[in-house]
Amino acid sequence: MADKDISQAVIARLPRYFRYLGELKERGVERISSQELSDIMKVTASQIRQDFNNFGGFGQQGYGYNVNYLYEEISKILGIDRQHSLVIIGAGHLGQAIAGYTNFTRRGFVFKGAFDKNPELYGKKIRDVEVRPVDEVEDFIRENNIEIVVFTIPKEQAVPMAKRLETTGIKAIWNFAHVDLDVPDNIQVENVHLSDSLMKLSYNIDRYEKSLNP
| Binding residues vs ligand NAI (CB under 6 A) | 89-95, 115-118, 134, 152-155, 157, 161, 176-178, 192-195
Q: What angle do CA 139, 102, 200 make, to 5 degrees?
A: 100
CA pair distance 120, 62, nearest whole angstrom: 63
Least Å distance between CB 102 and ligand NAI?
A: 19
Q: Any residues with CB less than 8 A from the CB of 36 and at least 6 apart, and which?
A: 64
Q: What angle do CA 157, 191, 159 make, to 5 degrees?
A: 20
Counting other chains too, the contacts that 1-8 makes at CB distance below 8 Å and 24 or more residues apart are 1/54, 1/55, 1/56, 3/77, 5/54, 6/54, 6/55
By C-beta, is 2 or 194 nearer to ligand NAI?
194
By C-beta, is 165 or 177 nearer to ligand NAI?
177
By C-beta, is 37 or 150 nearer to ligand NAI?
150
Residue nearest to ligand NAI (CB): 92
Least Å distance between CB 134 and ligand NAI?
A: 4
Least Å distance between CB 107 and ligand NAI?
A: 19
Least Å distance between CB 126 and ligand NAI?
A: 12
By C-beta, is 40 or 198 nearer to ligand NAI?
198
